[in-house]
């Protein structure tokens, strides 16, 4: 069986700092899932983010809260983590507009970085 080269993992903006603020259990789960993504697998907690082609989110529930890590893995073999946040909205599962706007901005940054490489 051929050896698979892990994709590079890059955090955009304050994403790594934000991830470090998550509870330990959530950090471990997200880290494990991102490792799977780097290896070319799709974790069970991953789902497509509606309206953003190729953008996925990892959803972890802990202590009645929901934590999300949003990433894109289809840009030149790099996994870009675009946003990590604790969902605050009490109005269903929809991602708040402010978070979607930030994800769009960071997705543009990731694509620009890829063009410069």
Fold classification of 8-116 is YaeB-like fold (3.30.2310)
Q: Give the start-to-end residue ranges of the domains of the chain.
A: 8-116
Q: How are beta strands 55-62 and 78-86 bridged, if at all? A: unpaired
- Nearby residues of 80 by Cβ (< 8 Å), 6 or more positions away: 10, 11, 12, 71, 72, 73, 106, 107, 110, 113
Residue 5 — very low, low, confident or very high, per pLDDT cuts 50/70/90?
A: confident
Exposed / middle / buried, residue 3 (Cβ in 10 Å: 0-12, 13-18, 19+): exposed
pTM: 0.90
- Structure-token match 């929901």, residue found: 66
How does pLDDT run across 53-71, given as a tens digit for each residue? 899 999 999 999 999 999 9
């Amino acid at each position: 069986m051929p050896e698979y080269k892990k994709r590079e993992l890059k955090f955009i903006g304050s994403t790594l700092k934000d991830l470090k603020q998550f509870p330990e259990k959530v950090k471990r789960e997200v880290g494990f899932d991102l490792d799977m993504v780097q290896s070319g697998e799709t974790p069970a907690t991953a789902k497509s983010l509606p309206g953003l082609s190729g953008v996925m989110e990892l959803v972890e529930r802990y202590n009645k809260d929901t934590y999300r890590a949003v990433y894109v893995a289809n840009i030149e073999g790099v996994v870009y983590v675009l946003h990590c946040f604790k969902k605050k909205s009490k109005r269903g599962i929809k991602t708040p507009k402010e978070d979607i706007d930030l994800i769009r901005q960071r997705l543009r940054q990731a694509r620009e970085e890829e063009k410069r490489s």
